[in-house]
Amino acid sequence: MPRRRWTPSATLYAPDLAKTIEDLKLPSRFIRPRVELSGIPVSPGIVIGRAYLVDRRKVKPPEQVIEPEQVEGEIERFHAAIEESREQLLAVKKHYEANNVGDYGYLVDVNLLMLQDNMLVKETERIIKDELHSADWALWQVIGKIKELFGGIDDEYFSDRQNDIDHLGERILRNLVGLRVKMIKDINEDVIVVAHDLSPMDTAQMDVKMVKGFVTDLGGRTSHTAILARALGIPAAVGLETITDMVSGGDQMILDGISGTIIINPAEGEVARYRERDRQYKDFLRELDNYAGLPARTLDGVNIKVCANVELIEEIKTIKRYGAEGIGLYRTEFLYLNREELPTEDEHYETYLKFAEAVAPERLTIRTLDLGGDKVAHSVPLEHEANPALGLRSIRLCLKEPEIFKTQLRGILRASVKKNIRVMFPMVSGVWELNQALALLEEAKEELIKRGETFNEDLDVGVMIEVPSAALMADKICEKVDFLSIGTNDLIQYALAIDRVNEHVAYLYEPLHPAVLRLIKISADAARSAGIPIAVCGEMAGDELYTLILLGLGIEELSMHSVSIPKVKRVLSLASMEEAREISAKVLKMATATEVHDFVEGHLKQKFPGLLDPLE
């Protein structure tokens, strides 16, 4: 559906039109129609309220050529917009501090740093000077170039990172063209926010006493906005595509953040039904809270370590609240993103030390640099590749750029004096790559010894099983490492030869495909024979539908987004290890993912009613 475009004259007369409609006192037959939409649920909860429209639609300036004598004025206009954006961001940070809005000042700090980014500022100035284009057109072009660096990513989490620069660029553009940036913090009534898109800062500004939930046209499950919504406990659904075209300010709405269902102008009976659903969900949450502080243990007394995946230090409080037993995956890529220079050894050391201290006495598992053609950073030397998913990425990039790799390794080693750190290498395809990585780790140790630096000489080293060849060679890999961790996201993609971001083949992305399950079993068997632990840290780990299968296949540790931890602990408490092994034995004999899915779902629904859907 094409998006409506409002002309300046339409905007000018809109208030008069609204007053005229109000004066007409339209009869009930003109009541706005009921509309039901389905989006991506990113933060659970059920709310009923009035819609509050926030204009966050894209500004696309016209291509405008300027005269040479206008260059200086355009550059001044650009810098004025930068400064206005800076003042707005500082006002947002002041709001956070004054209202004790969590630990989200870092979001502003990141944006303030991005305002100084050389590519953003210098490249915009260059286009104004050399190509004689207006400031708004030049900036729009530069934002597009930066977004391309994050585009085409097969990892949903990192593909959403382009939204961060997108939101900042929109702020500057709006200031350039004179459009007021509406502040979420100014909302002073109970509402459900409806927007084309929201930045993480928009979300962190929300007063949970006023903003009952939000819905957007754009967005994905792993965006920063979605993560913050979950952290703040604000129900949300995203990816609705055209909801801003279908909602008017003041419309009554039902937002179901569990299923992603949105109902605009619901019938009276629907409102009552969803109020009851809300009551049931809150009862379920109170019950689920009881599991957060309990050990992850099966009915027959087998302990399973349940950890969290994190990126930011600000997540530590949340993972502890949900009962995480340490960090099973710390993604270090953010040290490299949105900057021109490589992080120094001291930056690595200080960051990892801070994480280790925050999570102590629990364990911190650090994944080394996992960048490449699909996850890019200005600071890392990369060339364009036709097929980045199969190109120079992760451990391959680290082996090609040993000094970059060893700088990170020295930082990890220095922080390892805390004794609760272990390190793992991503995307290892076989023993040769592992040998090369281990050799560089030894070089890093020798360099620290020469400098008189101390570190944990018994640092545990592991490998991520993300490539079928690594799974098939797991027995040999296990001879050289202290643990394995299966990254199911990539393993599924490579095993089934699909591109997860290609909408034409995404339906083939099947975690329960028998081939994937067999690769997990091979890896788990190898780890058990070698006497070393094995974990799963991909999306499968946090889905309770897969919990018993993974246990039955031999997985001993699960690492996931923190909000999933109580749900997984609940599943563990209701089943035995014997049952898990029986389930996995049966599914390994099946031929299709559909067959496996139907069997597991049917079994769980029959034996544990309400386990998969607490509101059934």
For the stretch 320-335, pLDDT in tens is 989 999 999 999 987 8
How large is the average pLDDT for residues 337-348?
A: 83
User: What single DSSP character describes residue 513?
Assistant: -
Buried/exposed 233-259: b ≥16 CB within 10 Å, e otherwise: ebbbbbbbbebbebbeeebbbbbbbbe
CA distance 159 to 149: 10
How large is the average pLDDT for residues 151-165?
A: 57
Predicted local distance difference test score (pLDDT) of residue 44: 87
Adjacent-strand bridge partners of 17: none
Extended beta strands in 247-341, E state? 252-256, 261-264, 305-310, 327-331
Q: How confident is the model at residue 416 (pLDDT cuts 50, 70, 90)?
A: very high
Which of 394 and 579 is assigned the larger pLDDT? 579
User: What single DSSP character describes residue 303?
Assistant: B
Helix (H) or strand (E) run with residue 365 in it: strand 364-367
Pairing mode, strands 236-238 and 40-43: antiparallel
If phi > 0 it is left, if psi is from -120 to 50 it is alpha, else beta; for residue 427 that is: left
Torsion of CA 257, 259, 261, 266, to 10 degrees: -80
Quote the mean pLDDT of the chain: 83
Adjacent-strand bridge partners of 393: 372
Residue 239: pLDDT over 60: yes
Closest CA to 260 of 233, 220, 225: 220
Predicted local distance difference test score (pLDDT) of residue 338: 59
User: What single DSSP character describes residue 58?
Assistant: P
Residue 2: pLDDT over 80: no
Q: How confident is the model at residue 402 (pLDDT cuts 50, 70, 90)?
A: very high
Three-class secondary structure of residue 21 per DSSP: helix
Predicted local distance difference test score (pLDDT) of residue 4: 36
In order of 27, 95, 96, 235, the CA distances from 206 in angstroms are 36, 11, 10, 12
Paired tokens of 550: 């993974």
SS (H, E, C) 144-210: HHHHHHHCCCCCHHHHCCHHHHHHHHHHHHHHHHCCCCCCHHHCCCCEEEEECCCCHHHHHHCCCCC
Q: How confident is the model at residue 70 (pLDDT cuts 50, 70, 90)?
A: very high
CA distance 277 to 273: 6
Residue 224: pLDDT over 80: no
Residue 56: pLDDT over 90: no
Predicted local distance difference test score (pLDDT) of residue 10: 38
The overall longest dimension of the chain from CA atoms, in Å, is 85
Name all domains of the chain by residue range, CATH numbers in brackets. Answer: 31-55+183-286 (3.50.30.10), 68-177 (1.10.274.10), 300-536 (3.20.20.60)
Residue 220: pLDDT over 50: yes
Pairing mode, strands 191-195 and 211-216: parallel
CA distance 558 to 358: 20
Which of 78 and 288 is assigned the larger pLDDT? 78
Predicted local distance difference test score (pLDDT) of residue 583: 96
- Mean pLDDT is lowest, of 45-54, 215-224, 464-473, 535-544, for 215-224
What is the set of active-site residues?
224, 537
Helix (H) or strand (E) run with residue 43 in it: strand 40-43
Residue 124: pLDDT over 60: yes
For the stretch 257-284, pLDDT in tens is 988 999 999 998 999 999 999 999 888 8
For the stretch 176-197, pLDDT in tens is 877 766 666 667 788 999 988 8
Predicted local distance difference test score (pLDDT) of residue 312: 78
- Mean pLDDT is lowest, of 105-109, 440-444, 506-510, for 105-109
| % of the chain exceeding 70 in pLDDT | 80
Measured at the CA of 345, the angle between CA 355 and CA 401, to 5 degrees, comes to 115
